[in-house]
Each structure stands twice: as structure tokens, then as C-alpha cells.
Amino acid sequence: MKQKTIGILTGGADVPALNAALRAVTIRATKEGYHVLGIVNGWNGLINIDQSRKINEQVFCRTMNIDSTHSLQRKGGTVLGTSRIIPNMVKIEDVPDHLKDKYNNPENDLTEEVLKNIEYLEIDTLIVIGGLNTLTYAASLHKLGVKIIAIPKTMDNNINGSDYSLGFSTCVTRTVQYTHQLRTCASSHHNFLIVEVFGRYAGFSSIIPCITGAADRCLIPEHPFDVEEITELLVEDRKNGLNNYSILITSEGATPTTGYQNSNDPDKNWRGIGRWLRGQLEEISPKFNNGRKISAIDQHLGYMVRSGDPDAVDSIVAVAFGNLAINLLTSGKTGTMVSLMKSRYEYRPIGIITSGKKTVDVSKFYDSKRYRPRFTNIEDKPMWIL
């Protein structure tokens, strides 16, 4: 029998645990007798395959083996590269040169080319490691007959059907670490400290660090905030603190009831709510501080929390997810996503990704009056509580 080929790609933004997952899949699949073909630069690689070349001459794919993945578990990023391109929404400037005669609209659906290239590369099953957009497209390919196994990854931890996505623990660990480091600046000058983190539509990357004690208050996209209320609370926290400062962590997607609006354009940088809050806190603080202004520091952690090596939790989950993906492959259970629910590894139908939005349940886990996590009732909750 001809050796079967597994295709594997990483799509969307990078997270520190991607290489560990690639290594786990490659080692296990190779030992099970599969040929592993890595797709370079995510979905962009699958639309750029040049069928006039032999497979071993392709620029956008390469063979993965045990030797080539030897030290990957310790390294962040992804050796396969990644992109945010989704094949059914390809802008004209991103269409490969050899396809521009066929696809010349401002936005193009290249799914037909993806299907042709999967067949040309003789990929039997495609393992996709990605966030919400990457896996949503993977789910659409499954409906077209492609054998898909999905592995969730995202710093925002907002993929429906799994309590946990690769990258989230490192994101939280780094957020806590850097916020504590910034305390020296805030305490020395008795300032407000505003730390802006990832999270356009879900506030997990803001609320979980706040649970650890990294901040006095947190703002999340799921609940609009009143800027005067949060200023008054931070003034109170500053007055009651030993070193006369207070800390606020805000998701990039947090929105006030009035005065500031994030862009709905996905191609624009969302960074800005932290800077806006800095100005507002300084302007409003005299109202609650006997007429004296309190200066503020704003810091966008951004790519610092997704760069570098994975932490221990991400390293463990990456190995587990990779092996679970091959378990599903060998048992014929494609059209699935590996999952971690209530601290137990399992799998879900891939369609669950698009069946609903995963966001913070404000009524259960967020005190919208005090702008703090609510976590008193934690019986039967998973490790991450939310």
C-alpha cells in the first residue's frame, strides 16, 4: 500500500506552542507510518502551490521528519511560518501571480485552487493548527469533503468547543510577569498603570491575569465601561494601596459607554484603548482626588506576550493535542477538533467552532459594578475557572 500523506499547517498569528505541536504530530505520525508534509505560511501556502513543479521542488511545502523537529519543543513561533490569509477572502494583491488572470476581483474565493492543490500534493488528511478564522475555514473545507483535524490555538482563548487553546497559558504567564515588573515604575511615581493586552472580542486574557492579583481592576470587551466609574475606583485603590498606585488591565477590545470606539476594520491595528484611557484618567482624576491630577502610564504588551518560548502548561498541552490528533487520524475520526474540557482531553465535531461565540459570561464571572473578576463559586469548574 502507498504511504499516506498528512498535511499540516499553522495559520493566523503565531503563539509560543506551535512548534511543540508540530513536533508532537510529526514524531507520532512518522512512527505510525505516515509521510508528513508541512505547508509553509498557512493557507497562503496552499494557494501558492505551483503544479508545474514536482512536489519535492515546491517552495510552499516541505517534508517534516523526526530529525528536523528535534529541538522544536523548546522553541517559540512556528518553523512552517504563518499568515492571516483565508482562501475564500483573498485580496487581489495577495492572489498568486500565476492565478491573477483567473482571479482579479478586489476580493476572491480561491477554494477551488486549495482543493486542487490538496489533491495534487496527495494529502489524505489535513491537520490545521489555528485560531478562529483559520479553523472556521478548515470547517468549511470539511463540508467539501476534505478530511480535517483541527488543533485550537489563540492568545485570546476564544475558540468555541474547548476550554483551552494553545498559547493562552504563556499569554497569561507573560502578562502577569510584565505587569508585576511595571509596578516599579507605577509605585515610584505613584501613578495609575494601564496595561493593554490582546482580546478584541473576548476578555479572557484580561480577566484571568486579574484573578492572579496582577491588577486591581480589569476591562473586557463583553461589558462596556463607564470611564468615570473606573477612574473613581482606581483613585480609591491608589489611596488604599501601600505605595500609592493602582493598576488596570484592559483588553484591546474594551469599549467605554461614550467617547471612544474601536475600529471594525480587521486590517487596522486595534491598539489605542490604553492610550485613550491614560488621557481620560489624568483628566478625570482631580474630581475624585481633591482637585489634584494623577499621572498615568500606559503600556501595550502586544507581541511581548506571544514571543519567545512556551511555558510549561503550553508545552504539555501541545504534546497532548498533537498526539490526540494522531489518535483521531488512526481511528478515522476526521472532521474533528481536539479539545480540553474541564481539564480532560477529548475531541469535538469541527462544526462546533462556528456554532457559537466563546466569550466571558459576565453574569457569572465579572463584577460589572466593581470591574473585577467574580470567582466565588468555582465548584466543578475547569482549571482556568472561566
Q: Render pLDDT for 312-364 as a digit per residue (tens, 0 to 9).
A: 999 999 999 999 999 999 999 999 999 999 999 999 999 999 999 999 999 99
Q: Which residues are CB-contacts of 177 (< 8 A; sequence separation ≥ 6)? A: none
Q: 151: which residues sit within 8 A by CB, 6+ positions away?
A: 21, 127, 128, 129, 130, 166, 321, 322, 325, 337, 338
Domains and CATH numbers, the chain: 5-167+309-354 (3.40.50.450), 169-305+362-373 (3.40.50.460)
Separation of alpha carbons 173 and 164, rounded Å: 14
C-alpha R_g of the chain: 23
pLDDT at 351: 96
Query: Do the bridges between strand 372-373 and strand 336-341 make them parallel or antiparallel, or are there none, so unpaired?
Result: unpaired
pLDDT at 267: 47
- Quote the pLDDT of residue 271: 65
78 within 8 A of 19, measured Cβ to Cβ: yes
Residue 268 is placed in which grid cell? 487596522
Q: Which residues in the chain show pLDDT less than 50?
A: 266-268
**Digit-coded pLDDT (tens) for 29-74:** 999 999 999 999 999 999 999 998 888 899 999 999 999 888 888 8
In the chain, the DSSP E strands lie at 5-10, 35-39, 61-64, 90-91, 107-108, 123-130, 148-152, 192-197, 217-219, 246-251, 296-300, 336-341, 344-349, 366-367, 372-373
